Amino acid sequence: MSEPPPLPPPPFWRTMYYDQDASKRPDRQMIAVDEITATILEPQHSVLQENGRTSLLRFFGHHRHWLRVVVNSDRQTVHNAYLDRSFRP
C-alpha cells in the first residue's frame, strides 16, 4: 500500500494525519517546530517500526521527557510527534 503524498514545508514535510489531527491535540501544543526539526536532523535514538516508519527520539530537558517524532520511510515526512513518557534508552 502506497503512502499518500506529503504536505510540503513550511514548517517541514508532514502527513495529512499529522497536519490535521496529531498536531492539533491539546497535549501536543507545547511541542515547538524547532524541536521537531532538531529531532529529525539529530536524533539521539532511532527505532525502526515494523510498518516501515522510524521513531526518532531526542531528550528535551525543559519537557522532562523524550520527544518521539515518527517519520515515514523517507525519514523526513513527519507522521506523528509526541512527548514519550515511557521511553528509556
| pLDDT tens sequence across 40-69 | 999 999 999 999 999 999 999 999 999 999
Give, as one character, the DSSP assignment of residue 28: G
Sheet (strand 54-60) strand order: 45-48, 54-60, 65-71, 78-84
> Is a pLDDT exceeding 90 seen at residue 24?
yes
Q: How far apart are CA 36 and CA 12, in angstroms?
A: 9
pTM: 0.93
**Which of helix, strand or coil describes residue 16?**
helix
Domains of the chain: which residue ranges?
Answer: 16-84
Q: Could you tell me if 51 and 83 are in contact, meaning their C-beta atoms sit under 8 angstroms apart?
A: no
> Is a pLDDT exceeding 90 seen at residue 5?
no
